[in-house]
Amino acid sequence: MNCRPPLGSNAPHIVGVLAASLFLVGSSVRAEESASTGSLSATESRLDASRRAPDAEARGSGRRDSGIIPGVLIGPRLSVAVPTPTFGVEAKILRYVGLSFDYGFFPKLTISGVEVGYSMWNVGARVYPFGGAFFVGAVYGHYGVEATATVAQGTGSVKASSNFLGPQIGARWIQPSGFFFGIDLAWAFPLGYSSEASPDPSGTTVSVKQTADRYLQNGIPLVGLVSVGWMF
């Protein structure tokens, strides 16, 4: 005797098993697709982040490291400085090296009856040890002082000049636009200082020469109180 139930009576059970199997398979496929999509999205996000990182770093640092010439920034500069304002040109190369040229003068001024004029030029070499704003370096240049005294008894003159060499420290903050500002301090030690005077009857020029010798032979400060410029 065959005791198996009719096929029709098992049909609902078979359909249920098949439906459950299809549901489990579909869920597994969707989970795998989601994991694959998530992994791809994470990879793409990491790639996008790596591409954006240099730009974000440059924006975050608030500086500019390259201009018209790759790896080089160069441009004009004006400095409110002591003993005289200067104007010149400045360059920064590969973030870590800097060069500059400055020229300064003031027209002859009359002080206590003595007409005094001053001029100076210098070249500078700098190292930016951290690749940022701070630098250390050295300057080499020349300065000259001329004074003329005119009194009732006659006229006399004084000339003093020297090459100089000295250390320098300072900072330059370069904006992403290329505009920069900064400060610097140097001490110009004289190299081959010389002075001469043609005495006037009152002795004024001799006194001026003695004063110049007393101060200039020990060197002069070169202080850039405020320097502004634009690098391209």
pLDDT tens profile 146-182 = 988 877 677 888 999 999 999 999 999 999 999 999 9
pLDDT of res. 41: 52
pLDDT of res. 79: 96
Q: How confident is the model at residue 18 (pLDDT cuts 50, 70, 90)?
A: very low
Same domain, 108 and 185: yes
- Mean pLDDT rounded to a whole number for the chain: 80
- Of 11-15, 120-124, 183-187, minimum mean pLDDT range: 11-15
Same domain, 45 and 89: no
Residue given tokens 């398979």 in the structure block: 25
| DSSP track, 47-103 | HHHHHHHHHHHHHHHT-----SSTTEEEEEEEEEEESS-EEEEEEEETTTEEEEEEE
**Residue 67 is assigned to a structural domain of this protein:** no
**Residue 52 is assigned to a structural domain of this protein:** yes
For the segment 108-160, what is each residue's pLDDT rounded down to a tens digit? 888 777 888 999 999 999 999 999 999 999 999 999 999 888 776 778 889 99
- pLDDT beyond 80 at 209: yes
Measured over all CA atoms, what is the biggest interatomic distance in the chain, rounded to whole angstroms?
156
pLDDT of res. 171: 97
Measured distance between the N- and C-terminal CA atoms of the chain, rounded to whole angstroms: 103
Q: Considering only CA atoms, which of 79, 82, 76 is closest in space to residue 188? A: 82
Q: Which domain holds residue 3?
A: 1-61
Residue 230 near residue 75, CB atoms below 8 Å: yes
Rounded mean pLDDT of 64-78? 93
**Residue 66 is assigned to a structural domain of this protein:** no
Same domain, 76 and 57: no
What is the helix, strand, coil percentage profile of the chain, to 5?
Answer: 30, 50, 20
Rounded mean pLDDT of 33-54? 49
Classified as helix, coil or strand, 131 is coil
To the question of pTM greater than 0.75 for the whole model, the response is no
- pLDDT beyond 60 at 10: no
**Residue 204 is assigned to a structural domain of this protein:** yes
- Alpha carbon 230 to chain centroid, angstroms: 11
* Rounded distance between C-alpha atoms, residue 98 and residue 229, angstroms: 14
Same domain, 171 and 124: yes
